[in-house]
A = this chain, B = another copy of it.
């Protein structure tokens, strides 16, 4: 079973029709580590499927998020970011370049599924600061 067939059956298992558009969104997220915004996904996919609409991308991302096939990150105050949901990890947001990076900070442990009587379904850990690339660039500018 190739990657495309695997994605089709993943969608079917979720009770979702595996349309070209949904497969394209899943494929794009599977093959990027840049945690794109919805608009970035739209722009990227449109190069291969020029007729896809923004609404379809938004609908698809919402659907896949609800099915837990992908994860929606609210780390960026300006727009939601999306991540192919594989292994749990924390995320880092660079306040200068606005890129999102995976990091290895320990996430809340799965055992902590209840707090103060609230039922916890998911935990996200977000770190904010300046990324390695921007630190380096900043340093070079000072030295120059």
Give me the interface of A with B, judged by CB distance under 8 Å: 72, 74-77, 80, 90, 92, 94-95, 101, 103-106, 108, 112, 115-132, 135
Interface pairs (11), CB distance under 8 Å? A92-B115, A92-B120, A101-B118, A103-B116, A108-B125, A108-B127, A118-B127, A120-B127, A120-B129, A124-B125, A125-B125
Residue of B nearest to A123 (CB): B127
What distance in Å separates the Cβ of A22 from its nearest Cβ neighbour in chain B? Answer: 21
Which residues of the partner chain B approach A117 to less than 8 Å between Cβ atoms?
131-132, 135
Which residues of the partner chain B approach A124 to less than 8 Å between Cβ atoms?
125-128
Closest 9 interchain pairs by CB?
A117-B132, A121-B129, A103-B115, A120-B129, A74-B74, A122-B128, A119-B129, A120-B127, A119-B130
- Contacting pair A118 B103 (CB below 8 A): yes
Which residues of the partner chain B approach A72 to less than 8 Å between Cβ atoms?
77
